[in-house]
Amino acid sequence: MTKTDISKKQSMTQKNLTAKKSVRGFSLVEMLVAFALSLLVIAAVVQLLLANRQSVQISQAMVRVQESGRFAIEFLSHAIQRAGQYSCVSSLNATENTIAWLNDDYVDVQAIQTQVPTALANQWQSSSDGDVSLTSDRLSLLVATTNDAIVHSVSGETIFFTGDGEFSDGDAVALGNCLFSDLTFISQVSANYITLERAARAEASLEQSTPLMLTELQHLSFFINNENLTVEINGGASWALVNGVEALQFEYGVDSDSDFVVEYFSDIDTIQQADQAANIIAVRIGLVVVSATIEEGAPQKLTQQTQTLYLLGQRYVASDTRYRAVFQTTVALTHRGKF
C-alpha cells in the first residue's frame, strides 16, 4: 500500500467520524416541548368539537321546543274552540234553560267544566288551579264530537234514528236542534233504537222546523303528567299528546256585563268564588316547554345557569339547565259569544 492510499483511507475515516458526530437525536427538552405543543393542539381540537356539539345540541333543543310548543298550543286551542256547542245551541243560552242535563245533579253545561256530578265524582275531574312552581292547572271541557245522527222520532226515553252514527251504551249525548238541547247518557243501543237514561223534554216530541240531531259528547281533561301534555277522555284512559311540556297554566276571561268583551282575566278558583264561571268567554294559555324529558335522557347543561321565566305574569325558576321556552296565547270560546 502506497503512502497515497494510506492518506486516502485516513481521509475517508475522518469524514465518516465527522458525519457520525453530526447525526444525533432529539434532546429531552425538545421532546417535552413537542409533546406539550401536541397536547395544546389536541386540546384545541377537542374544545372545538365540544363547542360544536354543544351548539348542535342547543340548536336541536330550540327546534324541538318550538315544535312541541306549537303542537301543544294547537291541541289546546282546537279543543277550547270546540267546547260548549251541543246541537248548535251555544251554552251562552244555558241560563234560559235551552240546554239542560236531564240527569239529577248534572248541572254544569258550560264549556269550561267547573263542577263534577256526584255520579261521576270518581271519573270526571273539573278544571282546577295549580301552583306555577309546583303543580300545573287542569282544564276540563265538554265538547261535541263528529259522531252524530239524524233523529226521526222521540218517545220518552226511546229514540229512533238512521244514519252513520255509531253509539254505545254509556255514551254521553246531546239531543236537540238549534232551539234546545237535552244532555244525558245512553242506557242501551239496539239497532236503530236508543234508550236514554232519562226521558227527553216535551220539545223533543214536537215537530220542529230544524231536524233533531243526536250527538256524542266527550269530557276532555288536560293536565301535565311526567312532563307530557296529557288528555283524559270521559274520566277513563289518558293519552300523552305532546312530550316536553313542563308547566301548564290557564287564566279565564270574564264578560260580566254580557257585552261580549272580556272585563278581566283570573284563575278558575277566583272566578268560581265570584260566581262568574258562566260568564267565561275566553281562555289564556301559558306553557313552559323543555327540550326533552328526563326519561328520554335529555342533554343537560344546555344553558349556563338555570333559567328564570315568566308564565302568565308568574315567576318560574327552572330546576335544571335544560333549555326551556314559554308559549302563550288567548283563545275565544266561539260558542259562548258573538265571535
Is this model's pTM higher than 0.85 or not? no
Give the per-residue pLDDT at 338.
Answer: 40
Give the per-residue pLDDT at 9.
Answer: 57
Q: What is the pLDDT of residues 309-323, one digit of tens each?
A: 999 988 999 888 888
Containing 154, the helix (H) or strand (E) segment is strand 139-155
Give, rounded to a whole angstrom, the gap between the first and last alpha carbons of the chain.
124
Q: For residue 54, give the C-alpha cell.
A: 354543544
Residue pair 167/194 in contact by the 8 Å Cβ criterion:
yes
Give the per-residue pLDDT at 94.
Answer: 46
Residue 121 contacts by C-beta under 8 Å, 6 or more apart in sequence? none
AA identity, residue 52: N
Q: For residue 257, give the C-alpha cell.
A: 256585563
Cα separation, 324 vs 27, whole angstroms: 55
SS3 293: coil
Place of cell 226521558: 199
- Give mean pLDDT in consecutive 10-residue pieces for the chain, a chain of 339 residues: 58 56 62 76 74 68 90 95 74 56 75 76 81 81 88 87 82 85 90 88 63 88 93 90 93 88 92 89 94 65 80 89 92 68
**Torsion region of 297: left, alpha or beta (phi above 0 gives left; psi -120 to 50 gives alpha):** left
Per the document, the length of the chain is: 339
Long-range contacts, 46-55 (Cβ 8 Å, 24+): 54/302
Which of 337, 277, 254 lies closest to 114 in space, CA to CA? Answer: 277
Which of 202, 197, 35, 230 lies closest to 101 in space, CA to CA? Answer: 197
Q: What is the pLDDT of residues 138-190, one digit of tens each?
A: 999 989 888 888 888 888 889 888 766 789 998 999 988 877 888 889 999 98
